[in-house]
């Protein structure tokens, strides 16, 4: 069975601090995709990044970076120099190559960035 675990339920930081959101996944499939979505208070899930299981290169996009490690089945997300606008619930999700695209989500991590 497939599973995504986000052990951190809530994180609170002060603006300009760096913060890392953890994601651990379980699957026996060799071809899969990992995603991060942001859910601001408005409720709409916003796509942040997708990685496939064959590409372990880390990725940086502005203040956001992602660390994918197959050896530990982790796909962690770091926000550098956090801002109040980063306050949201962040979800890590998994989809399998041969399961029609459905996303299996973790429980989410609620990030609160205080000024």
Partner 1 sequence: EAGVAQSPRYKIIEKRQSVAFWCNPISGHATLYWYQQILGQGPKLLIQFQNNGVVDDSQLPKDRFSAERLKGVDSTLKIQPAKLEDSAVYLCASSLGARGRDEQYFGPGTRLTVT
- Name the minimum Å distance from CB 32 to partner 1: 7
> In which region does residue 108 sit, left (phi positive, over 0), alpha (psi from -120 to 50) or beta (all else)?
left
Q: Shortest gap between Cβ of 39 and partner 1 (angstroms)?
A: 9
93/84 Cα distance (integer angstroms): 24
Backbone φ and ψ of 86, nearest 5°: -80, -10
Closest approach of partner 1 to the CB of residue 35, in Å: 8
Binding site for partner 1 (CB under 8 A): 4, 31-33, 35, 37, 42-47, 50, 52, 91, 93, 95-103, 105-108
Nearer to partner 1 (CB atom), residue 41 or residue 62: 41
For residue 28, give both structure tokens.
Answer: 């026996």
Task: Decide whether 32 or 75 has the Cβ nearer to partner 1.
Answer: 32
Closest to partner 1 by CB, 18 vs 26, is 26
Shortest Å distance, C-beta 18 to partner 1:
24
Tell me the C-alpha distance between 57 and 62, whole Å: 16
Cα–Cα dist 58/69, whole Å: 9
């Amino acid at each position: 069975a497939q599973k995504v675990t986000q052990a951190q339920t809530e994180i609170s930081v002060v603006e300009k601090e760096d913060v890392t959101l953890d994601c651990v996944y379980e699957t026996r499939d060799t071809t899969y995709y990992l995603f991060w979505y942001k859910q601001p208070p408005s409720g709409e899930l916003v796509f942040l990044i997708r990685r496939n299981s064959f590409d372990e290169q880390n990725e940086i996009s502005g203040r956001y970076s992602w660390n994918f490690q197959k050896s530990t089945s982790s796909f962690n997300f770091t926000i550098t120099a956090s801002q109040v606008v980063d306050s949201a619930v962040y979800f890590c999700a998994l989809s399998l190559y041969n399961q029609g695209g459905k996303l299996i989500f973790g429980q989410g991590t609620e990030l609160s960035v205080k000024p």
